Amino acid sequence: MTEEAFSPEGPDPDAPGPLAWHELADGQSVTAQVMRRIYRPGPGGGWWYELRLSIWAEVQNRMNCI
């Protein structure tokens, strides 16, 4: 993969973990900050991650003039 992880805010230097990048089925990608992880053995277990995900949205300001 040639793309690097990208976040508009950049990595949080106080967070305990690195950035995690994932490509979705429709080709979009998301970047999240890894906050912590835990291991739970057994069926359905494995590594579980707590992530911080920033969601960006465009805001349109429509002013009505009277």
Q: Is 60 contained in some domain?
A: no
Q: Is 46 contained in some domain?
A: yes
Q: Is 66 contained in some domain?
A: no
User: Which is more confident, 55 or 65?
Assistant: 55
Q: Which domain holds residue 10?
A: 1-54
Residue from 48, 8, 63 nearest 30 by CA: 8
Give the total number of structural domains in the chain. 1
Q: Is 24 contained in some domain?
A: yes
List strand residue ranges (DSSP E) for 1-66, in order. 19-23, 29-40, 46-53
Q: What is the pLDDT of residues 8-61, one digit of tens each?
A: 555 556 666 788 888 888 998 888 888 888 998 888 779 888 888 877 788 888
pLDDT attached to residue 26: 92
pLDDT attached to residue 2: 37
